[in-house]
Amino acid sequence: MAENTVISIQDVHKTYVLSSKPSFWARITGRTQAEKRLEVLKGVDLDIHRGETVVILGSSGSGKSTLLRCINKLETIEGGRIYVNGHLIGYEEKDGQLVAEKPSLTAKKRTDIGFVFQHFNLFLNKTALGNVMAPLRDVKGLSAADARKKALPNLEMVGLGDRAENFPSRLSGGQKQRVAIARALAMEPSVMLFDEPTSALDPELVGEVLSVIKKIAQQGTTMAIVTHEMQFAREIADRIVIMDQGVIVEQGHPEAIFTNPQHPKTRALLKRSGIVPPQDK
């Protein structure tokens, strides 16, 4: 592993079991149903380096969100390894096998990984400021005064210093997402993961969230972003990764991907987004 590698994903496999419970009819007839399995990640390798902004693109069902969720173990994996800053995430290795580690160890490693959800997931019973302060107090053990001191600049950074006392129910979607970003940033993680951060927003609110993400990228934060915003991806990414059906089909510099895509799936994806590569014209 190179020294400046923050995230190292090695041959990761993930399968969803869709119907593990036999149906009522299967049970009374004694006929067991074949389990429906969906292999969403079929051996993914990806290294993300310090300060790098990687944007993962792909059609829905390509496994890009699942991959992101595996990085901080919101999903289990069946095979492969994921390292963040050299620490194996979510598992211990025993005789070459993955064994689930103690949840408290996973929790500790997660404090180093910021995650921003599509649906914001703000704590509904806390104000904007309360949301940013909560993990600082509950996880990092800061006093209320110290947590406040740390939370406020982060809220100001996302442009919501004046909304500190508002509950989520009184914030717009864009504002909620900016609070969620501030909450993750305040923990000072070494990497930020964004899972379709603007997909649940009204079109006119997308811009304010993207500009906050750009600002964070300019500060040299290591980031992985799953998005459908092609133009944004082109502007912000140091590297674009294209996923299709559980594997990475192509990756490279955004200009190379957008102007000279190699893989047919990449070309199809760009076409669907209204971007026609020069060679196809």
Partner 1 sequence: MDFINNTLAVFPALIGAVPVVLQLALGAMALALVLGLLVALARISNFKILRAISTVYVEVLRGTPLLVQLVYIFFVLPSVGVEIEPIPAGILGLGLNYAAYLSEVFRSAILSVEHGQTEAALSLGYTPNKTLWKVVIPQSFVVSMGPIGNYFIAMIKDTALASVIAVTEILKTANILNSQTFQTTAIYTAAALLYLIISLPLSRIVIVLERKARAIG
State in angstroms the smallest separation of the CB of 122 from partner 1: 7
Taking the least distance from each CB to partner 1, the nearer of 176 and 265 is 176
Interface residue with partner 1 among 108, 253, 271, 272 (CB under 8 A) is: 108
Site for partner 1 contains 123 (CB under 8 A): yes
* Cα–Cα distance for residue pair 205/201, rounded to 1 Å: 6
Angle 269-272-277 (CA atoms, 0-180°, nearest 5)?
Answer: 70
| Helices assigned H by DSSP within the chain | 24-29, 64-71, 103-110, 128-138, 144-157, 173-186, 203-218, 230-236, 254-259, 264-272
Q: Tell me the per-residue interface mask from 56 to 95 with partner 1, x by CB under 8 A, - otherwise.
A: ----------------x-x---------------------
* Cα–Cα distance for residue pair 10/82, rounded to 1 Å: 6
Choose among 241, 237, 239, 281: nearest CA to 265.
241
Taking the least distance from each CB to partner 1, the nearer of 133 and 237 is 133
Interface residue with partner 1 among 139, 144, 268, 276 (CB under 8 A) is: 139
Site for partner 1 contains 117 (CB under 8 A): yes
Interface residue with partner 1 among 58, 70, 90, 110 (CB under 8 A) is: 110
Structure-block tokens of residue 73: 């173990």
State in angstroms the smallest separation of the CB of 184 from partner 1: 7
Q: How long, in residues, is the chain?
A: 281
Site for partner 1 contains 225 (CB under 8 A): no
State in angstroms the smallest separation of the CB of 66 from partner 1: 14
Residues 6+ apart with CB under 8 A from 184: 114, 115, 116, 192
| Cβ atoms of 7 and 224 closer than 8 Å | yes
Site for partner 1 contains 20 (CB under 8 A): no
Where on the chain is the footprint of partner 1 (CB under 8 A)? 72, 74, 103-104, 107-108, 110-111, 113-115, 117, 119, 121-125, 134-135, 138-139, 167, 169, 180, 183-184, 187
